């Protein structure tokens, strides 16, 4: 499995403040980005996997709405997060 407990805890520790702060906007965006990158790699090998493609589009939409919320709430955190994660806007 690509997303183990340890990887998830590390993502939330780095972006969410602590391992137990799984509800933070920054941590959720970082987790979605990790999952999006994994699914993108999968779809490069399996281009006819339409179910995965559909779930990838849904994940991108969720991440986009969280990014919009963060942008409205705190623009400096938004700018630093997209720079750190390498998200283009």
pLDDT digits (tens, 9 = 90+) for 45-89: 999 999 999 999 999 999 999 999 999 999 999 999 999 999 986
Is the Cα dihedral 35, 36, 39, 40 positive or negative?
A: negative
The rounded distance, in Å, linking the Cα atoms of 4 and 28 is: 16
Between 80 and 17, name the one with better pLDDT: 80
Cα distances (Å, whole numbers) of residue 41 to 2, 10, 46, 56, 68: 12, 21, 9, 11, 25
**What was the pLDDT predicted at 16?**
86
Give residue 38's pLDDT. 96
Structural domains of the chain, with CATH: 5-85 (1.10.287.10)
Least-confidence region, from 1-5, 6-10, 54-58:
1-5
**Total-model pTM:** 0.92
Provide the pLDDT for residue 21.
Answer: 87
């Amino acid at each position: 499995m690509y997303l183990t407990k340890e990887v998830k805890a590390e993502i939330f520790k780095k972006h969410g403040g602590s391992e137990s702060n799984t509800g933070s906007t920054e941590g959720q965006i970082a987790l979605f980005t990790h999952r999006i990158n994994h699914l993108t790699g999968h779809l490069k090998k399996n281009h006819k996997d339409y179910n995965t493609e559909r779930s990838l589009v849904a994940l991108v939409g969720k991440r986009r709405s969280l990014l919009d919320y963060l942008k409205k709430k705190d623009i400096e955190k938004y700018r630093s997060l997209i720079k750190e994660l390498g998200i283009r806007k």
